[in-house]
Structure 1
Amino acid sequence: MLLGMGPDGHVASSFPGHPICQENEKWVTFIKNSPKPPPERISFTFPVINSSLNIALVVAGAGKADIVQDALVDGSNSDKLPVQMVTPQGKLTWFSDKGAASKLHA
């Protein structure tokens, strides 16, 4: 599966704090009040995302550097970011440009 991550840590149409993140039975659902246009969307849920054998997660842009650091390094948020809920049955591979990875230390 190919996923992207938004500047708030959302994947698919699973936005931080939105009830869609807690859906654990339906594989596909809808959202009518998306915080990002368009307001009405259809989306995979985490049960189908995480049933994947392999996920490629693409993140680009310096504007996402803080959220990449939060997701991969800090991870101390009491509320998980949606991107942190991506836990496939197989392999998760992050693909990032220099801007998005700029706050990660080697």
Structure 2
Amino acid sequence: MLIKKELCFLAIPCLISAQSVKIQPQIEAQECTHQFRIPAFGDFPCPDVFNCNDGHPHVCNHQRDGSSQRCTNCDDDDEIQFNQDCPHDPHPMRSCPWAQ
């Protein structure tokens, strides 16, 4: 019982001081206007959607070789042009990736 009492005496000042710690609010992220874009080459995820056997819609996300216009500020890709077809085309029903 004495140990519990000592732990409480040690814990209470820590809890009180923890409440007084001043934390700076996070600066809200400013939206990027994508003013400057450069050509980028590499693998990009397939954006096609398929339905699994359970009926859920899923994005394919298979990595495909291609090119895009990439924002120099936030790395956003636009105008993605794929150099190869997705091996899952025409994206038939598959087992659910969420199933365990």
TM over 0.5: no
Q: Which structure would you say has the larger Rg?
A: 2
TM-score by length of 1: 0.19
Structure number with higher strand proportion: 2
Structure number with the bigger relative contact order (C-alpha 8 A, sep ≥ 6) is 1
Structure number with higher helix proportion: 1
